[in-house]
Amino acid sequence: MFSSLTGTLRSGIDVALVLVGLGVVLQILFPDALAFINANVAGNLIDLINQFSGAGLIGVIAALIVVDQLK
């Protein structure tokens, strides 16, 4: 039961990462392409990175934990 749940969650995370990557590429190539959903994917990603880097050592540790969990 636990393995099927983790497999489903990993599949969901994989889909989400692909969608984030697609959103960044679309926003760079076609700035008005995401106007229908009112999303600033690249800006939100930059804000997230700034939050991790602004937190000092704790931010670095948190970022490493997130990267490790995504592997």
- Residue 3 CA to residue 45 CA, distance in Å, equals 30
Q: What percentage of the chain exceeds 70 in pLDDT?
A: 89
Entry pTM? 0.58
Domain range for residue 9?
A: 2-70
The per-residue pLDDT for 65 is: 80
Three-state secondary structure call for residue 71 = coil
Q: What are the tens digits of pLDDT across the range 2-47?
A: 788 888 988 998 898 888 888 888 887 887 766 666 777 778 888 8
- Give Cα separations from 41 to 5, 6, 23, 26, 56 (angstroms): 28, 27, 6, 9, 24
- Residue 39 CA to residue 37 CA, distance in Å, equals 6
Separation of first and last alpha carbons in the chain: 21
Count of structural domains, the chain: 1
The per-residue pLDDT for 7 is: 87
